[in-house]
Amino acid sequence: MKQLTETLLSWASILEDTTREQAETTATMPFIHPHVALMPDAHLGLGATVGSVIPTLGAIIPAAVGVDIGCGMIAVRTPYTADELPADRAPVREAIERAVPLNAGAANRTVSRDHTRERLERLRSLADEAGFDPATYAARWELQLGTLGSGNHFIEVTVDEESRVWLFLHSGSRGVGNKIAQHHIGVAREQCAGEQLPHRDLAYLTEGTPEFDAYIAQMRWAQTYALLNREEMMDRVARQFAEWVGTAEVERTEEINCHHIYTEPEHHYGKDVWLSRKGAINAEAGRPGLIPGSMGTASYVVVGKGDPASLNSAPHGAGRSFSRTRARKTFTVEDLRAAMTGIEYRDTDAFIDEIPAAYKDIDQVMADAADLVEVRHVLRQVVNVKGD
């Protein structure tokens, strides 16, 4: 851990100057208590750095929470080992691609399954309690439950250090969460129109106002949507995996589902704060968590150590070191094929900007996080599914 300023601590050994400057700017906001914690995977983001933990008193910065509200990971350990898997992995990849709509605007054409209906009923009820209609943000929000999205979202079949098979996926609150976030970022800018902010995306909402209450209610709904979206997809993935290995149902010997873009009220350094983890997981002592690498590198099942200086937090992944545009100009489809050797994936140049070399070295990120989490399992993918 390195103290960069009075209100900024960093665990990142790889930190670009622009990323540091952005984090320093966020840390100057007057309601930060006691400091911003910069995670090992930190990189530039909208308004505030991705990979930062931002504690605020009496206010919240919607852009510092993030636009993919509730984005996170879910992992399920199966009773299978690597040597029990069929040699041909293409069928399970293709089956998952059919079962889970993948792309940015993807939608399910049916919500007839019982568990899907139950999750939708829960979300409708929670929206009524929160006093808003999600359809005002995204008309197809119900049809996007159980869809992956594009970018760095993925589904994987992975194997740990003991050859045990895990199902692993990364996604968030889809279009509706993004629209909720964008709306409230705009409201915050309106509320701060007369103030001299260090950056317009550091506009905030003040606790006790109707605007603050509306954001919190809708943001919490989106966090629940993201959690249930991952559950819905995992049900579908597990069903396809079961058919592939020739069983009726896959026993889940362990399951972890955690956010890494969200905010919650927590108590730190003697005060109740709104703790925004924009690209970080809760790593309080004993808490299980998931830290993914890129599409061709290892991911980690961890348990938190409860480091108080980090505000009980840990990194959420590898973190980009190349922008998508720069990655496409730098790498080729042949580079991607080489990086994905031995992994079943859809061979397309659409994934060049997701090549592992476009991300920080996940092993270095985990070394930087040694005081924050204990590694329980290292997962290496044998099947990778992504949306264009």
- Describe the crossing of helices 114-130 and 210-245 by its angle, rounded to 10 degrees: 170
**167 within 8 A of 67, measured Cβ to Cβ:** no
Burial classification of residue 33, based on how many CB atoms lie within 10 Å of its CB (0-12 exposed, 13-18 middle, 19 or more buried): middle
The structure tokens listed for 143 are 């049809």
Say whether 361 sits in a helix, a strand or coil.
Answer: coil
Q: Radius of gyration of the chain from Cα atoms?
A: 20
Burial classification of residue 133, based on how many CB atoms lie within 10 Å of its CB (0-12 exposed, 13-18 middle, 19 or more buried): exposed
Phi, psi dihedrals of residue 366, rounded to the nearest 5°: -70, -35
Q: From the candidates 35, 43, 170, 316, which is the catalytic residue?
A: 316
Count how many residues are written for the chain: 388
Q: Is 268 a catalytic residue?
A: no
**365 within 8 A of 316, measured Cβ to Cβ:** no
CA distance 41 to 319: 5
CA distance 78 to 168: 11
Per the DSSP assignment, residues forming a β-bridge with 358 are none
**Which strand (E) or helix (H) includes residue 36?**
strand 36-43
CA distance 69 to 37: 19
DSSP string, 278-302: ESEEE--TT-EEEE---TTS-EEEE
215-238 b/e (C-beta count within 10 Å ≥ 16 → b) = bbebbbbbbbbbbbbbbbbbbbbb
The structure tokens listed for 128 are 């009524």
CA distance 218 to 215: 5
| Strand arrangement of the beta sheet that strand 373-386 belongs to | 254-259, 72-81, 164-171, 154-159, 373-386, 299-304, 288-291
| 59-60 vs 50-56, strand pairing mode | unpaired
Active-site residues, by number, are: 316
